[in-house]
Amino acid sequence: MTCIVCNEDKLSKEFAPYNASKECDHACLTCLRCLVNGVTKNGKCAYPGCLQEIDINCKPMVFFRDLLANLFSEYETVYSPVVQIPGTKTYVNITGLTGNSTRVAYSPKMSVYDLQVSVYKAFGIETSKQKLLYKDTELQKYTPEKRLATFQDFEVEPNATILFHNFKHVVFDLYWGYPGKGIDYLDASCLMFCGTTFYRICDYYDWDPHPSIEHSGDMMNDNKRKGHHKIDVFLNKIPPKVTHLFFTLSAWKSPNISKYKKPSVKFYEASRPMESLCKTTFTHANNSQAVVMCSMSRKADTWEIFESGQLSAGNARKYAPLKETIRRLVSTGI
Q: What is the mean pLDDT, run by run of 10 residues, along the chain of 334 residues?
A: 81 80 82 89 89 87 79 44 53 72 88 89 76 84 90 92 80 95 95 96 90 96 96 93 96 95 91 78 91 87 81 96 96 84
| Residues 203 and 185: beta-carbon distance below 8 Å | no
What pLDDT does 165 receive? 67
Residue-range domain boundaries for the chain: 12-72, 91-165, 169-332
The pLDDT of residue 276: 81
Do 91-165 and 169-332 fold alike per CATH? no
Phi, psi of 196 (to 5 degrees): -90, 5
Instruction: Write the burial class of residue 235 (CB in 10 Å: 0-12 exposed, 13-18 middle, 19+ buried).
Output: buried
Residue 274: exposure state from Cβ atoms within 10 A (0-12, 13-18, ≥19): exposed
Give the model's pLDDT for residue 99. Answer: 53
pLDDT at residue 100, rounded to an integer: 66
pTM of the model: 0.59
Q: For the domain made up of 91-165, give the CATH fold.
A: Ubiquitin-like (UB roll) (3.10.20)
Task: State the burial class of residue 209 (Cβ atoms within 10 Å of its Cβ: 0-12, 13-18, 19+).
Answer: exposed
- Can you give the pLDDT at residue 69? 72
Q: Could you tell me which CATH number the domain at 169-332 has? A: 2.60.60.30
Sign of CA dihedral 37, 70, 97, 277: negative
Give the pLDDT of residue 72. Answer: 47
